[in-house]
Amino acid sequence: MRHTLKKKPGALKKGNTIGIVAPASPASAEKLNTAIKIIEDMGYRVKIGRSCYENYGYLAGSDDVRAYDINDMFASPEISAIFCMRGGYGTLRILDLLDYESISKNPKIFLGYSDITAIHIALIQKSGLVTFHGPMPAADFTCNDFNKFTKDAMLKALTSNSPLGEIKSPEGYPAAEMLVPGSAEGEIIGGNLSVIVSTIGTPYEIDTRGKLLMIEEIGEEPYRIDRMLTQLRLSGKLNDAAGIILGQFTNCVPKHPEKSLTLDQVFRDILVPLNKPVIKGVCFGHEEHKATIPMGVKARIDGERAALLIEESAVL
């Protein structure tokens, strides 16, 4: 089942109820409680999924519990948005337990990043849902009391029914730049590189045809980035994309620099020969300051301005 009809959620409004789920790894009760207070202070109600209180090794409860929470939150009339508590590992295990037909009939804001990438891809492709790559309660809301840039960018993306326009970096951050010149248009899909690669060969394999492929990563050495990008190249995913958006590659440094390529060398070796627009340094990923980027909507890489522009509204 692949939906072609796009489903957009309603804009988030003060007083709405936000459901928090834990589709991947668990978080501490302290971080959860701090995040709840921050969300309530922003003017929203909160409903907590059972998975947020469970712990099964490196997972926030069993696969059934984590999948049930997502299905239940989408089906519940009282919930307007669903925030994923954190990433880690585990979302790939529940992809075949999600009710994509029900989710398609009940479009809601779905927010997260990192391991949540697998669910973004599945919801975009199987439910036709516009989703949001952005901060998560246990990972970001408690970081220095949720920095203003990340908070403001998230609220703008979730509450405004106008196109977001240019995705900007905070003051003091390096500006985005073109690795390969040119402009390209398409709907955005992607997220965390290692999770994107993990979908290949499954019923949830990422479809990059005519899309803008966004990629970020954390804690992977250049040779591992090389391996994953090469897999995307050999599987045709890079060639299929209209353009590529590189975000934050946090702590992706070699342990032995004298025996390693740099990350820039890896990007040049694999991405430049594609001869299609590639922008790097866009403000999304695992760093404290991050933009919220709607996925499944039309966007443009503007080569002249070295900018990513969101050209379609993401919420109704």
**Which of the residues are catalytic?**
114, 216, 286
- For residue 271, which amino acid is it? L
Q: How many C-beta atoms lie closer than 10 Å to residue 100's C-beta?
A: 20
The per-residue DSSP string of 265-304 comes to HHHHHHHGGG-S-EEE--S-SSSSS---EEESSEEEEETT
User: Encoding tokens for residue 291?
Assistant: 């933009």
Site of tokens 């697998």 = 118
* Edge-first strand listing for the sheet containing 293-295: 45-48, 17-21, 79-84, 109-112, 131-133, 293-295
Contact 99, 71 (CB under 8 A): yes
List the alpha helices (DSSP H) in 147-262.
Answer: 148-159, 193-198, 222-234, 237-240
